[in-house]
Chain A
Amino acid sequence: MSEITAQWFQLFNLYALLGTVAGVVVIGILLFLTVKFRAKDGASDPADAPKPGRIPPERGRIEAVWILTGLVGSILLTLTFGTINTVNLILTPPRKPVMTVEVHGFQWGWKFIYPNGKTTVNEARLPAGTPILFKVTSDDVFHKFHLIEFKYGVDALPGRFNEVWFSTDTIGTYTIQCYELCGAGHSNMRSRLVIMPPSEFQQWYGGG
């Protein structure tokens, strides 16, 4: 679909794998201990059980903590590297020629302004295989320009352009939606994203 989306899912799956393993292991241990050390009926108290009016003694070895810290830290370090790589991908446009499309979010729709001045509302037509630079802004309040199937986007802020690049080889119709609450029409602030074969796009676009 798109290089960014593919990498995004790779990263997500990495986090999901590590997260699921960690979660299953830790919650598993929690539940296992709860069952294993459940008191039998009428069991007596261990020696260091709480006694009324007695400050409880210290318990636990510091070494365990350091080991665990190291473990958690290394997992996080792995994840951070993956993150940094993916972020760079999102933020760095490729060297191939890029078409810039201005996107204006407004209450409640999306306006697209092409380099030759052509303007569409709630429908973006783009050629497959061409890297596009979206320059996103808002004409009123804080919106978020989000490409649902591609799993990323960028905030639309009044008074500034946020840039994000996009490219896909897959022909089809996709959805753009606003992902930041922006008033009563927020739920319907949707636009079609039509990816066309380059020749068809040129016909529609009319050059320039």
Chain B
Amino acid sequence: MRFSTALFVWVLLVLATVAELALFRIPLDRTVFTVALFGLAGLKALMIAVFYQQVIREGRDVAAFYLFALLVALGLIIGTLTSMSGMTTTHV
């Protein structure tokens, strides 16, 4: 990819990080904060994957398996955390 594109992406990544830090300072509803924070993180990750790892240029097959890996990861996290709720137990 072109050097100028890489630089531009870098600027965006830095700005997104600054935004995350700014979010931290602003008093926000917890849910809004969480969604915004991890939304920004997700955006950064996507930019790195698309522009630096060049996922799209690699082709649909690589992108498909990358997505699949992500789904497995989310399945592990969400699948495990949901097992916690409504447990027929109480804390000691």
Contact = CB atoms under 8 A, between A and B. Distances in A.
Interface of A: 91, 137, 157, 159-163
B88 A159 contact: no
Interface string B12-47: 000000000000000000000000000000000000
B88 A163 contact: yes
Contacts of A162: 88-89
Contacts of B87: 160
Interface residues of B, number: 6
Nearest to B91: A160
A91 B86 CA distance: 13
B90 interface: yes
B92 interface: yes
Contacts of B89: 157, 160-163
Contacts of A159: 91-92
Q: Rank and list the top 6 A-B pairs by shortest CB-CB distance, nearest first.
A: A160-B89, A162-B89, A161-B90, A161-B89, A163-B88, A159-B92
A137 B92 contact: yes
Contacts of A163: 88-89
A27 B90 CA distance: 47
Contacts of B88: 91, 162-163
Contacts of A91: 88
A11 B89 CA distance: 26
Query: Quick one: which of A91, A157, A160, A163 has the most chain B CB within 10 A?
Result: A160
Given A160-B89, A160-B90, A162-B89, 15 more contacts: A91-B88, A137-B92, A157-B89, A159-B91, A159-B92, A160-B87, A160-B91, A160-B92, A161-B89, A161-B90, A161-B91, A161-B92, A162-B88, A163-B88, A163-B89
18 contacts: A91-B88, A137-B92, A157-B89, A159-B91, A159-B92, A160-B87, A160-B89, A160-B90, A160-B91, A160-B92, A161-B89, A161-B90, A161-B91, A161-B92, A162-B88, A162-B89, A163-B88, A163-B89
A157 B87 CA distance: 13
